[in-house]
Structure 1
């Protein structure tokens, strides 16, 4: 009888572990979809030189306000902040590219130290980092529009 209970308990633990793994996989998939949606929204287009310059200045302000580290390089095509020493801290970069049709695209990208392990799998701060990055990227267009 004791062996039967032990076997039933072991089987229950295996089932619960499988459910937990499935839940984690589903949660990660949902988070990755939310991050992809945010990344798709984290840009703005401009056509006139004056408009692009104004938006680029606002983008620089946004990067400064949202990144925990200072800007280490900034020119007409990129704004890069330093990688933080602290894990779980978001830092933001921006790029400005000219398109063949005369339009320019300004986009930002949030990054977070500790979000992924070296093998590409989620790191121990994945959830925290993902939510911060999603927020930074989703709020970009609103910031640019609100400051217009």
Structure 2
């Protein structure tokens, strides 16, 4: 009995160890700050952010203001992502749009939060057409960016892909 349980746990652990592998291009896009340059661009990007969440979220939108788009969830044990999108004004007149995605699934999230974050940012920038819940890699390479550690207000999730906050 103990040997069987140990074998099952080893297989489960081995399965989890490969879950966290994310394409470096996807990670680069997902960690690039999303900063709009003026009020008009920020309004367009915020509308796109709302459209993306509406078309990709499994959970209902609980809050939608000028600075927050938030879905319900995540529900216990489910792999579906819950989203929280924020908009913060910067002193120079720009604004930074933040992306956070979380699930409560023991086997990871579906779609992968890194891929969802990259897809979200490409869509908001107008750089890619986005299909709901594809989970596919973004089709375009990352734009020129600063080093990910220079992105204030972003946290990098564990490599198991269970949560992403940027």
TM-score normalised by the shorter chain: which range applies?
Answer: 0.5 to 0.7
TM-score w.r.t. structure 2 length?
0.57
CA distances 1:83-133 after superposition (whole Å, capped 9, x unpaired): 144611112210001122221111221211x24xxxxxxx2x22xx16532
Q: Is 1:134 matched with 2:125? A: no
Question: Match for residue 55 of structure 1?
Answer: 45
In structure 1, runs of 5+ residues without a counterpart are 1-9, 116-122
- Return structure 1 stretches of 4+ with deviation > 2 angstroms: 19-31, 33-39
Asked whether the 8 Å contact 2:81–2:111 carries over to 1, the reply is: no
Indicate how the Cα distance of structure 1 residues 20 and 37 shifts in structure 2: closer, same or farther if over 3 A, else same: farther
The 5 A counterparts of 1:9-88 are 27=18, 30=21, 37=28, 39-41=30-32, 43-85=33-75, 87-88=78-79
Q: Which has the larger radius of gyration?
A: 1
In structure 2, runs of 5+ residues without a counterpart are 130-166
Report the count of equivalent residues: 121
Asked whether the 8 Å contact 1:67–1:81 carries over to 2, the reply is: yes
1:134 shift after superposition: 2.1
Q: Would you tell me which structure has more helix in proportion to its own residues?
A: 1
RMSD in angstroms over aligned alpha carbons? 3.5
Q: Does 1 or 2 have the higher relative contact order (CA < 8 Å, sep 6+)?
A: 2
TM-score w.r.t. structure 1 length?
0.63
